[in-house]
Amino acid sequence: MQDFTFKKSLGQNFIFDKNLLRAIVADAEVEKSDTVVEIGAGAGTLTRAIAERAGRVISFEIDSRLKPSLMALSCEYGNIEFIFDDILKTLPSELEAITGAPFKVVANLPYYITTPIMFYFLENGFAVKSMTITVQKEVAEKIVCRKGDSEYGILSVMTALAGKAQITRIIPRACFTPSPNVDSAVVRLDVYEGYTPDKSLRTLVKRCFASRRKTLANNLRAGYGFTREKAEELAQLVSGNRLVRAQDLGKDDFIRLNEYISGSSESSNS
């Protein structure tokens, strides 16, 4: 990669340490029976490590300049398929047709697309078994934090609703080429069996966190047009506190709140 010009706009920070790459794949518990989807093949170093353990690797890469070296890698490993396109522009039905089976996601994600990528996989009903992703350390902490934490927000709740997340390792910035300005972390999310995305629940979570300084009741009033009395009643029902804020609610609280609101809507429409 001596003559390669890294594009900051694509978030290109590659890992070349073979032991670290194998450790990331080990964190994902990739097995020969697995189909793995990778986002951002880059130099193909993580792709190679995945291919050594997986049955099939489907790797997306947006930078066509990397195509010659990656195609050479696919010739070396018969279980790798490269797709030179933006996965966020790939229709869910297209990806389902490509994978054809439940799959794991393993990726060193460009920082700027971490949240869109997570929502893409968690909100389109894919048969994702797990996601093991290298992300900015600060974002990793947001993903795994719990109610009451200062960084707890939409991403934290939506992740908790989908599965169990944990940070498996911290990766210092010096491990990347070029070195970013922050450290990274590997997060593994094991998706609950039978998980089904709920659009109304996502809408609720977004509205509840619309203004972090406001109480839950005030955000419900703004998001749903409830009266003050109705909004405070819902806050009391779900938490025992009319003045509670969204960051103090757990995933089960949001599920119950969504059920209360859905039930209320059905009653008013009948």
Report the relative pairing of strands 128-136 and 80-83 from DSSP bridges.
unpaired
The number of helix segments (H) and strand segments (E) in the chain equals: 11, 9
Q: Across the chain, what does the average pLDDT equal?
A: 92
Parts of the chain belonging to CATH 3.40.50.150: 8-191
b vs e for 63-98, b when ≥16 Cβ sit within 10 Å of the residue's Cβ?
beebeeebeebbeeeebbebbeeebeeeeeeebeee
Q: What does the DSSP 8-state code read for residue 192?
A: P
For residues 186 and 169, is the Cβ–Cβ distance under 8 A?
A: yes
Reported pTM: 0.91
- Does residue 270 surpass a pLDDT of 50? no
What's the pLDDT at 65?
Answer: 86
Per-residue pLDDT band for 13 (boundaries 50, 70, 90) equals confident
pLDDT at 267 over 50: no
Q: Is the pLDDT of residue 3 over 90?
A: no
Burial class (CB in 10 A: 0-12, 13-18, 19+), 8: exposed
**Residue 95 pairs with which residues in a beta bridge?**
none
Contact between 36 and 50 (Cβ < 8 Å): yes
User: Quick one: what percent of the chain has pLDDT higher than 90?
Assistant: 82
Q: pLDDT tens digits for 173-195?
A: 999 888 888 999 999 999 999 99
Whether pLDDT at 6 is above 70: no
Which of 22-36, 66-80, 97-111, 172-186: highest mean pLDDT? 22-36
Of 1.10.8.100, 2.170.120.40, 3.40.50.970, 3.40.50.720, the CATH number of 199-269 is 1.10.8.100
Q: Is 3 left (phi over 0), alpha (psi -120 to 50) or beta?
A: alpha
Q: Which range is least confidently modeled, 61-70, 123-132, 138-147?
A: 61-70
Please say if the pLDDT value at position 121 is more than 70.
Answer: yes
- The alpha carbon of residue 156 and the mean position of all alpha carbons in its chain are separated, in whole angstroms, by 10
State how far the Cα of 189 lies from the Cα of 92, in Å rounded to an integer. 20
Contacts of residue 38, defined as CB under 8 A and 6 or more positions apart, other chains included, come to 46, 47, 50, 57, 58, 59, 60, 105, 106, 107
pLDDT-derived band at 36, boundaries 50, 70, 90: very high
Residue 11 pLDDT grade (very low, low, confident, very high; cuts 50, 70, 90): low
Q: pLDDT per residue over 66-89, tens digit each?
A: 898 899 999 999 999 999 999 999
For the chain, residues classed under CATH 1.10.8.100 are 199-269
pLDDT score recorded for residue 170: 98
Beta strands 103-108 and 128-136: pairing type?
Answer: parallel
DSSP reduced 3-state for 106:
strand
Confidence of residue 268 (pLDDT cuts 50, 70, 90): low
Collapsed DSSP state (helix, strand, coil) of residue 55: coil
Alpha-carbon separation of residue 106 from 121, 156, 188 (angstroms) = 12, 20, 9
3-state secondary structure of 135: strand
Average pLDDT over residues 246-258: 97
pLDDT of 10 higher than 80: no
Query: Whose CA is closest to 155, among 196, 205, 107, 189?
Result: 205
Task: Please give the radius of gyration of the chain, using alpha carbons only, rounded to the nearest integer.
Answer: 21
Q: What is the pLDDT of residues 188-232, one digit of tens each?
A: 999 999 999 999 999 999 999 999 999 999 999 999 999 999 999
Question: Range with the lowest mean pLDDT among 40-44, 157-161, 257-261, 264-268?
Answer: 264-268
- The CA-based angle 132-137-142, given to 5 degrees, is 80
pLDDT-based confidence at residue 163 (cuts at 50, 70, 90): very high
Whether residue 5 has pLDDT greater than 60: no
- Domain 8-191 CATH class label: alpha beta
